[in-house]
């Protein structure tokens, strides 16, 4: 087994300059950093970060107008990880994007670390809003989007929510109020991976299949009905993600209303033993599982896989 993949440095990248193939390659590294970091810290979330990985990578390496050297630039695009338990996915992406050394991921969730178990805007470069108590991020994003409009600032604000998280009433307070403010500089990404932490016991199915927090909801109609523009995509497919971004850019400053991307994904995406299993909401991989994950992500020969 090898963990040398962690020794890498920033992969650079900037707005619009990385295409699907390159993004996919970065995503594999992010996925490895997620499982290996959580394994090393002996606690943390796996399934949610993995379902969101492709979207995070596409945002940070393709879409967001940001500069890791100036994490507080007032003109930067904002990103809020409302499903804050997926912090390790964000941290891994930020590290590869150059906000802090990749090696620092080894301090994740340790004492005295800048990398807390949930995102802390006061500690981590690149984190725009503290989250962790679910359901709150969209409200903060709405405040930022309203403020940006008032100040004639042109940046875009992105918020990523979980489908389980969207059981929180406050999400719908924000969804209800946002169109009133004409915030076409705000996009909510619903990471619909069909699983939450424990959730509902599915009837007449595997007793341990806790699936589809929003399975009974016609999310697109609901969001449209609330006055949002809605795009539905496979959130693990870069062509679809980048096409959605194009549309969001076209609507930015023109649509008069916020946009929701219903991003259908798989929880635990990209590693066979985690994908689709609610029990991997959080979890610590064994050395054997780590080795297998590495093999699946980088090819059969772990040593030769260090690109």
Q: Which does 141 bind (CB under 5 to 8 A by kind): another protein, ligand TPP, none?
A: another protein
Which H/E stretch holds residue 263?
strand 259-264
Among 170, 197, 282, 292, binds another protein (CB under 8 A): 170
Query: Which residue has its beta carbon closest to ligand TPP?
Result: 162
Angle (CA) 258 264 269, round 5°: 130
If DSSP codes are grouped into helix, strand and coil, which group holds residue 299? coil
Q: Which does 213 bind (CB under 5 to 8 A by kind): another protein, ligand TPP, none?
A: ligand TPP
Bridge pairing between strands 157-162 and 229-234: unpaired
Beta carbon of residue 151, minimum distance to another protein (angstroms, whole number)? 6
Q: Which does 92 bind (CB under 5 to 8 A by kind): another protein, ligand TPP, none?
A: none
Q: Which does 195 bind (CB under 5 to 8 A by kind): another protein, ligand TPP, none?
A: ligand TPP
Contact between 211 and ligand TPP per CB under 6 A = no
Single out the residue of 2, 60, 9, 10 nearest to residue 32, CA to CA.
2
| Distance, CA of 210 to CA of 37 (rounded, Å) | 26
Residue with tokens 């810290």: 41
Stretch that binds ligand TPP, among 59-67, 97-105, 194-202, 244-252 (CB under 6 A): 194-202
Residue with tokens 């299993």: 277
**Is the CB of 57 or the CB of 142 nearer to another protein?**
142
Among 148, 195, 230, 261, binds another protein (CB under 8 A): 148
**Is the CB of 133 or the CB of 151 nearer to ligand TPP?**
133
Beta carbon of residue 224, minimum distance to ligand TPP (angstroms, whole number)? 21
240-259 burial, b at 16+ Cβ within 10 Å, e below that, comes to: bbbebbebbeebbeebebbb
Among 124, 130, 193, 259, binds ligand TPP (CB under 6 A): 193
Among 56, 86, 95, 144, binds another protein (CB under 8 A): 144
| Distance, CA of 63 to CA of 55 (rounded, Å) | 10
Residue 25 is encoded by which pair of tokens? Answer: 């390659």
Stretch that binds another protein, among 13-21, 55-63, 96-104, 147-155 (CB under 8 A): 147-155
Residue with tokens 């609610």: 278
| H helix count then E strand count, the chain | 8, 5
Single out the residue of 195, 223, 226 nearest to residue 211, CA to CA.
195
Residue 176 is encoded by which pair of tokens? Answer: 């209800």
Strands of 229-234's sheet in order across: 78-81, 157-162, 186-192, 259-264, 229-234
Contact between 160 and another protein per CB under 8 A = no
Contact between 176 and another protein per CB under 8 A = yes
Among 25, 153, 252, 277, binds another protein (CB under 8 A): 153
Contact between 119 and ligand TPP per CB under 6 A = no
Q: List contacts with ligand TPP (CB under 6 A).
A: 47-48, 51, 83, 85-86, 132-135, 162-165, 191, 193, 195-197, 213, 267, 281
């Amino acid at each position: 087994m090898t963990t040398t993949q962690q020794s890498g440095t920033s992969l650079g990248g900037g707005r619009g300059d990385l295409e699907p193939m390159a993004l996919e390659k970065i995503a594999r590294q992010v996925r490895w950093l997620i499982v290996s970091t959580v394994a090393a810290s002996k606690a943390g979330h796996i399934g949610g970060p993995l379902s969101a990985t492709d979207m995070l990578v596409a945002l940070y390496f393709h879409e967001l107008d940001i500069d890791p050297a100036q994490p507080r630039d007032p003109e930067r695009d904002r990103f809020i990880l409302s499903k804050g338990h997926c912090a390790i996915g964000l941290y891994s992406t930020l590290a590869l994007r150059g906000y802090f050394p990749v090696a620092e991921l080894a301090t994740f969730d340790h004492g005295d670390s800048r990398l807390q178990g949930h995102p802390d805007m006061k500690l981590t470069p690149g984190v725009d809003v503290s989250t962790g108590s679910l359901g709150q991020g969209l409200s903060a994003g709405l405040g930022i989007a309203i403020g940006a409009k008032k100040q004639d600032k042109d940046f875009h604000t992105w918020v990523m929510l979980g489908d389980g998280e969207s059981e929180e009433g406050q999400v719908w307070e924000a969804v209800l109020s946002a169109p009133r403010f004409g915030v076409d500089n705000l996009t909510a990404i619903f990471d619909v991976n069909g699983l939450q932490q424990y959730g509902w016991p599915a009837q007449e199915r595997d007793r341990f299949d806790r699936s589809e927090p929003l399975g009974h909801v016609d999310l697109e109609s609901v969001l449209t009905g609330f006055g949002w523009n809605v795009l539905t995509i496979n959130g693990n497919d870069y062509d679809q993600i980048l096409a959605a971004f194009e549309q969001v850019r076209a609507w930015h400053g023109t649509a008069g209303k916020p946009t929701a991307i219903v991003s259908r994904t798989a929880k635990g995406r990209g590693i066979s033993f985690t994908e689709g299993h609610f029990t991997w909401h959080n979890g610590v991989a064994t050395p054997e599982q780590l080795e297998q994950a590495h093999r699946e992500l980088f090819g059969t020969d772990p040593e030769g896989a260090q690109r």
